[in-house]
Amino acid sequence: MARKTARVGLLIAALAVLSPAPAVADEALWPQGAITYSWHGDPARGCAQVGVCGVQGALVLRPDDEVDLSGGTLELIDTPATIRVRRTDPGSSGDCIDSPGDVPLIALTAGRHGAVRASLGGVASSGRCAGPTAADLAPLALTGTRTRGRHASFDLRSSLPFTAGPYSGTLTSTLVLKPYHPQSLGGFFGGSSTCCSAGGPRPHSVLVEQVDLRYRVALPASAVTVSFAGQSGPFCAVLDACGAVGTLRLGLSATRGTLDIMATRRVASRLPRRRLLAELRAGRLVLEGGLGPSLAQNEVLSETLTRPGAQDCSDTQALPGAVLLNAGPLLVPIAGPRVPFALSTAGGPESGAGIDVLRTHCAGPSASDVFGSLPGPVLMRGSLATARLLAAHSTLTLSGARTFAGPGYSGRRSGSAVISLSLVHIGVRTVRIREGS
């Protein structure tokens, strides 16, 4: 029986068949082997200027649970991953060991004669250790083969060199996916069962008054600065953070966009527009949360890290991405005299989800250490009086000041921005919805 473990990451493979091939039946596959990214500081790529010539490391992804093949999609339930980096400087040395929270995405494209191209992407990186970023590793692809027939196998054993800023490296795969046929589970999982009785409240309809607000948003150039230092304790040695101090600066360019906010209230009968807007000003309507579309940004991340007996590590990364301004906690309705706002950012190749926006080619704290776990990372927060939602023009002050303490590093972040909101549309309507269905 396949071992079922907690879901750590997803391995999603979209099979685009470029030549006629038999349909692949749904089945379970068993992975064997590993995917290994290995790297070292390369003088030919400027490792001396960055300060990482004495760095060598590897990221190993070793899947050890079954893979479900369903509808042409492969899903890997569990992928243990380990990062090990060795640093050797003239006056000091150390080892950094980390484990990333996610695994890369892999898109498989089937070609002629059973050939397969595996495009690697997602959030694989060197984590808190010195090494490649997710943007460095995302474009890499492997070649392999796929057997034909009712039960397909995938052989992704291959190797290719890569470069990542001041590093050179090799991507090596020994991964093979073979058909797996576990014994019948029976017992607790077998047989038939009866679920979900037809009891419960009968469906009924209710009236809901809805107010839709749209704003033009102007975000000025701003920055978040993070000052950090290695903590004492067990993680200090594990992450090679003992004695390290540094600064990260995430700069955001000025940009413009729109923000939509929706507020609702259940009513017995339709309310006049003026009264409903008065109820909104008083904070009696429920805000379902507002989310603006991604505001195009040119994000620039720079880092300087200093440690005793070692050359300073200094690096700058351009992060083409976006910022999001949302009103209220997403998916959590709120009501009251003030509306919370949050400015979050996402950069890199995975459309923003899970990308570490604080990673350079140097070691240092992760975005989850500094900003907290997902959803996020939230760079700045602020609030606006609910009554101001209907003002023609408002200014919203956001602040990113807070302290943090994560594995290996602690410190403080700072930053602020004053955002301009211009109300351009007010929509009021009554909708009838069914509840209990």
DSSP string, 128-155: TSSS--HHHHTT-EEEEEE--SSS--EE
Least confident of 251-255, 294-298, 376-380: 294-298
Give the per-residue pLDDT at 188: 38
Per-residue pLDDT band for 101 (boundaries 50, 70, 90) equals low
DSSP summary character for residue 334 = B
Bridge partners for 81 per DSSP:
61
Measured CA to CA, the distance from residue 125 to residue 61 in angstroms comes to: 11
- pTM across the whole model: 0.80
In sequence order, what are the residues at sequence separation of 6 or more whose Cβ sits closer than 8 angstroms to the Cβ of residue 113?
none
Q: How far apart are the C-alpha atoms of 144 and 114, rounded to whole Å? A: 8
Residue with tokens 């959030």: 123
Distances (CA, A) of 203 to 206, 381, 436, 437: 10, 40, 4, 5
Average pLDDT over residues 233-247: 91
What is the rounded CA–CA span in Å between residue 170 and residue 40? 10
**Distance from C-alpha of 163 to C-alpha of 280, rounded to nearest angstrom:** 55
| Cβ partners under 8 Å of residue 425, min gap 6 | 212, 213, 214
In the chain, domain spans = 13-180, 205-435
pLDDT at 42: 98
> Are the C-beta atoms of 336 and 283 separated by less than 8 Å?
yes
411 within 8 A of 403, measured Cβ to Cβ: yes
Q: What does the pLDDT average to over 361-389?
A: 86
Checking if the pLDDT of 193 tops 60, the result is no
pLDDT for res 157: 93
Question: Among the residues of 201-351, which ranges form H helices?
Answer: 234-238, 273-281
pLDDT per position as a tens digit, 212-232: 999 999 989 999 999 999 988
Q: What is the pLDDT of residue 163?
A: 96
Q: Tell me phi and psi for residue 99, to 5 degrees.
A: -135, 115
pLDDT of 10 = 31
The letter for the amino acid at 133 is T
Is pLDDT of 20 > 70? no
pLDDT of residue 416: 95
Strand partners, 168: 40, 163
Question: What confidence tens digit (pLDDT) does each residue in 30-53 have?
Answer: 888 988 999 999 999 999 999 999
pLDDT at position 284, please? 85
DSSP bridge partners of 117: 109, 143
Q: Which residues contact 234 (CB under 8 A, 6 or more apart)?
A: none
Cis status of the peptide bond prior to 340, with omega within 30 of 0: no
The pairing of strands 93-98 and 167-173 is: unpaired
Return the SS3 of 320: strand
Beta carbons within 10 angstroms of residue 397's beta carbon: 13
